[in-house]
Structure 1
Amino acid sequence: MSDSTDPKAAMIAAALMHVPFDGWSEASFRAAAHDAGLSLPEARALFARGAVDLALAFHAQGDAAMVARLAETDLGALRYSDRVAFAIRTRLELVEHDKEAVRRGVTLFALPIHAADGAKALWQTADAIWTALGDTSDDLNWYTKRATLSGVYSATVLYWLGDQSMDHSASWAFLERRIDDVMQIERAKKAVRESKILGPLMAGPEWLAAKIKAPGAAPADLPGRWRR
């Protein structure tokens, strides 16, 4: 996943040799800078907060690799839930050999001082998956899809980190169960909407939800907006 001509990628690759022993720490950051042939000022120009930003760059690199893999994979024959499962599995398989770095990252972002960074990184992974799978929602669903997937992904990561089964088969079974749980909720919501008794009660909340727009989604009544 690294590119030796890219100093950021070189720093990440170098760090992965030290993080399993020293975590995403100042010691790992300094050692990575040395191994990548960068001075500390040069390294800090790339990663202003040091190891924290380096850990975030490692996470973003994994997201980018996943998106690239999904772009070259034909998922047309899969159900949508299976596409989501495939995306999450792909994301984890791409960092399988750096599992300890992922574990150390989870530990780092569990600290209160870095919790916001960890939540943002998790959300960005969920957003990358939905975007790669062609999600076109622009209302409340945009948020609920990413929030739900963040929960599924984070739970799967924690299970995967402790999984000792052959080829992580237990993790993929766990993932399937989590996605099935989500699909059961969606089926229940659909049943409520289609119910002659409960359906009308949802009209108000659904009208309100439709008014919530995803980031970048322009209101339909703006001048120049095409109306169907």
Structure 2
Amino acid sequence: MTETEDKLIDAMLTHVPFDGWSDTAFRAAIRDTDVNPTVARGLFPRGARDVARAWHDRGDAKMTGAMAQADLSHLRYSEKVAHAVRLRIEAIEDKEALRRAMVQNVLPLNAPDGARMLWQTADHVWRALGDTSEDYNWYTKRMTLSGVIGSTLLFWLGDESYGNQATWDFLDRRIGDVMQFEKAKARVTSGPLGRALTAPGSLLGMIRAPRRRDDLPGARR
């Protein structure tokens, strides 16, 4: 991410509480930073929507950077997942900006973009934890974790507990649900039915993870 992109994101965040993720806020950010409007539109062709996406990407980058520096050797796997999601939430500088973004993302036109952002964050978490799945597990892991991240963010927006402890307790419960799902899935796939469903040539057996980095569902182009 360039310095100009960072400047525009930071400037826009000061206007989002009043104008939302709108073109009004985007134009105000351009004025505040003295960035050439043509350059700004080149960086963010969809205006405010692309700035919101870039803000999300910046949060993902902060989370992956913090994960790379953390010593997680003493944690169980479920605790590592919860730690990564917590780091991602703690990377959010402005709760009101997130609230405004999530309100926009429920609109039919924006919903696919919102889903891609959640999927992307889930992908970053699994990659940071060294996930090597190449089959249908690649998709189910990201699908379930996307749901956990989305529900935890909604809970966090209304959390008034000290140190957001209620949110972290909620997160631990949701991660526990994911681990139970993974255990149940493992039991099914290790049995006769599961072996038949995942055999070479079967529907599940033909599912593969995206091969190219730009083939990842949710990649910002």
Q: Normalised by the size of structure 1, how large is the TM-score? A: 0.87
Q: Deviations over 1:73-125 (max 9, x none)?
A: 11122111111100000000111x31111111111111111111111111111
Post-superposition offset of 1:188: 2.6
CA distance in 2 between partners of 1:36 and 1:111 (Å): 30
Other-structure match for 2:184: 188
Other-structure match for 2:218: none
Q: Deviations over 1:155-207 (max 9, x none)?
A: 1011111111111100110111111112222223334456xxxx212221122
CA distance in 1 between partners of 2:139 and 2:188 (Å): 21
CA distance in 1 between partners of 2:183 and 2:197 (Å): 18
Q: 1:72 aligns with which of 69, 72, 83?
A: 69
1:119 matched to 2:115: yes
Q: 1:211 aligns with which of 188, 206, 211?
A: 206
CA distance in 2 between partners of 1:131 and 1:183 (Å): 17
Percent identity reads: 53
Say whether the 8 Å CA contact 2:189–2:198 is kept in structure 1. no
Other-structure match for 2:95: 99
**Structure possessing the higher radius of gyration over alpha carbons:** 1
CA distance in 1 between partners of 2:27 and 2:44 (Å): 12
Other-structure match for 1:59: 56
Residue type of the alignment partner of 1:155: S
Q: Could you say what secondary structure the match of 1:48 adopts?
A: coil
Q: Normalised by the size of structure 2, how large is the TM-score? A: 0.90
Post-superposition offset of 1:212: 1.2
Q: Could you say what secondary structure the match of 1:14 adopts?
A: helix
Other-structure match for 1:200: 192
1:154 matched to 2:137: no
Post-superposition offset of 1:21: 1.3
Alignment RMSD (CA, Å): 1.6
The structure, 1 or 2, with the larger RCO (C-alpha pairs under 8 Å, 6+ apart) is: 2
1:11 matched to 2:8: yes
CA distance in 1 between partners of 2:164 and 2:139 (Å): 30
Other-structure match for 1:21: 18
CA distance in 2 between partners of 1:166 and 1:160 (Å): 12
Uncovered stretches (5+) of structure 1, i.e. residues with no partner:
218-228
Q: 2:80 aligns with which of 72, 80, 83?
A: 83
Cα separation, partners in 2 of 1:39 and 1:192, compared to 1, 3 Å: closer
Other-structure match for 2:27: 30
